[in-house]
Amino acid sequence: MEEYMLPCLNKKYLGYECMGCGIQRSVALLLKGEFIEAFYMYPGIYPLIALLGFLIANHFFTIKYANKTIIFLAILTVSTIIISYLIKITH
């Protein structure tokens, strides 16, 4: 599976990672059952999965306070991605 992953063009041509670097490898680690390693590879993977899972569930079921939950999960996901990216580039 790893041989079919797309390269990060930002890292390839500009020399530094983007905020999405690591997500493909993190999904691959999840599929292998390596959950802690997936988190270390891309910390935003779990809030992203929660958001996508909730959006899918909301599509099929009527969920009370769905809009507030979606906003909360979206803010949590974006915040996690930005904070982990800032930590990654400063170390």
Confidence of residue 3 (pLDDT cuts 50, 70, 90): confident
**Residues 11-60: pLDDT tens digits?**
888 888 888 888 999 999 999 999 999 999 999 999 999 999 999 999 99
What are the structure tokens assigned to 60, written together? 């099929």
Please state, as a whole number, how many other Cβ atoms lie within 10 Å of the Cβ of residue 32: 11
Domain count of the fold of the chain = 1
> Is 2 a residue whose pLDDT tops 80?
no
Q: 8: domain range?
A: 2-90
